[in-house]
Structure 1
Amino acid sequence: MFDFRQLRYFVTVAEELSFTRAALRLHISQPPLSQQIQALERDLGVLLLERSKRKVALTEPGKVFLEQARQILAQAELARTRTADAAAGHSGQLRLAYTLSVSFHPALPRTLLRHRQMAPGVDVQLREMNNAPQFAALLANEIDVGFVRTEPRHLQDARKLRLRMIDRERLMLALPSSHPLAARDRLHMSEVAGAAFVTQPREMAATLHDKLTTLANAAGFQPRTVQQAQQVSGLLALVAAGLGVALVPATMRAVHLAGVSYVPLADHGAELLLAVASRADEASPVLTQFLSTVDEFARDSGNL
């Protein structure tokens, strides 16, 4: 059976219509080139080239075989390229989840943009998902990687997962701009002990909800929730309406809403981690490439 080398030799001779020029182009001597073409013809059982002292010409079967040989070589090169891309993590599929609050952090859009530039052949499937469901989906192999705001609650789950820390984001209070504390450079939680709070339901934002309780308890009070909103935009609208104050990550400052002011909290522990979670035993090229992009972002941001 003929091989790829014979196909390349034949295509070169057919394009040059000269064994001498073809040998020069292939950087081989003419005798072995002629021998390989003859072996190809014997294998096929047809004459591909008419040879004379003055010229070389393609036979009719030679013209048909030239078209097929070019297609075979092109397909082989495509297979080589796609295999190399897959090995480098530049093609394939990546199932990625993220919590709602991560949408406002630059880590998500910048990492996705950089990864798309590095690996345009990867099909990234995005899903919005809370922290606990993300950990469960990772363990069930339903997603490949997730942007999370907390660590796994159970030790056995933590052992099966790996977390890359990206940021420890400061927490802020979103206050009505008319609030007496709205112009402050920073606040302590104790200063809003008597304030009304607006929150998202715990099932929508468990980590932030629990942070509010923890920080308030450390300051000596129980937060008083007067209203809830399903979405962050609705939460800030309630703040703008003067119905209460809200605990939010610092990146929420990117949401400019009339009537809302953001003041950083100075309390110890007033921060929200941001990490990328994946299975500890997963080492696919696509995931490895994405995680290297995450590390690059973290280094550029000064968080590594």
Structure 2
Amino acid sequence: MRTWCELYPADELVVLGPSWVRDSFAGPDVDFVTWPNERVVARSTGQMLLQPLLAAVKKVDAVVSLSPIVSPLVFARPTFCFEHDWRHLKNKDEFGVAQRAYRKLWELSAARATGCLCISDKAENETLELVRTASTEIVPNGGDHPRRWEVGDLPVHPRPMVVTFGHHNNKRPDLVIRGMAKLPDNAALTVLGARGELAAQLKSLAASLGKEEDVLFPGFVEEPEYQRIIAGADCVVVASSDEGFGLPIAEALYFGIPVVVAEDSGVSDMHGPDVIAAQPTPAGMAQAMAEALARGRTASGGVSSWADTVQLLRKKVANSL
């Protein structure tokens, strides 16, 4: 949104989303309509019913959903949805019944949308494999948004700091913790996003491996703190079982921070030699993290631009009108 407003200030944007989007976007004049999306029922209602109503009332030219769902009830105007990954079909055991039922809407959306905008070759290949009638085009994510971060003076860690993620079980933070246990004792690990029962399980695991003092669990943090943690890391690990792109990968590469990914996630093909692909085992993770820490920071990576993303997206929309 920020980049679109910078490049095309004459365009009128109507944004439907949760209140945190409006609160965090203190930018140009954008017409915000807030709708809660924390729960499946509220989210799906907004996407399927409020979205077409808003399109009609606001008389918009086109509807672009940054999620995989754009309502099939939108009429007389082109519709676009973004495809990130289809891991709910590939790794069904990672999702509950309600989540799987909700994500069935993805297939309906992909089949009916004017265009399915895929963030990577991987996302496009998976989409066409699962929804053969989908009209797909690749619109890659940008990765230069950390240029807006105001991180100030970064913390100086007394020992190497590794950062990983635990807000969903597919992030496999347990694998990273087990790998950390095989590293020398001078490294520390921050697990972002873990909370509730999963956080308790991970803390117990760290304690059982003698790493209770070496693994930090700040849970979900505010955006400024998240930015400081990422920008100040010595290594970022994205151990997901499947990823469509992995924004934290691009964020770390922007700062020249070495990144470790799981070789079965599919993201190493996207980010190429800029990341270290690890076998999804504790030993494999340990070896890759040791290599990353030994490599250290490099010059900022050549991440893709959100300006390129917006220009390509806007061209697709304009051509459909």
Higher relative contact order (CA 8 A, sep 6+): 1
Q: With structure 1 as the length reference, what TM-score do the two structures score? A: 0.29
- TM-score, scaled to structure 2: 0.28
Comparing both structures, which one devotes a greater share of its residues to strand? 1
Quick check: which has more Rg, 1 or 2?
A: 1
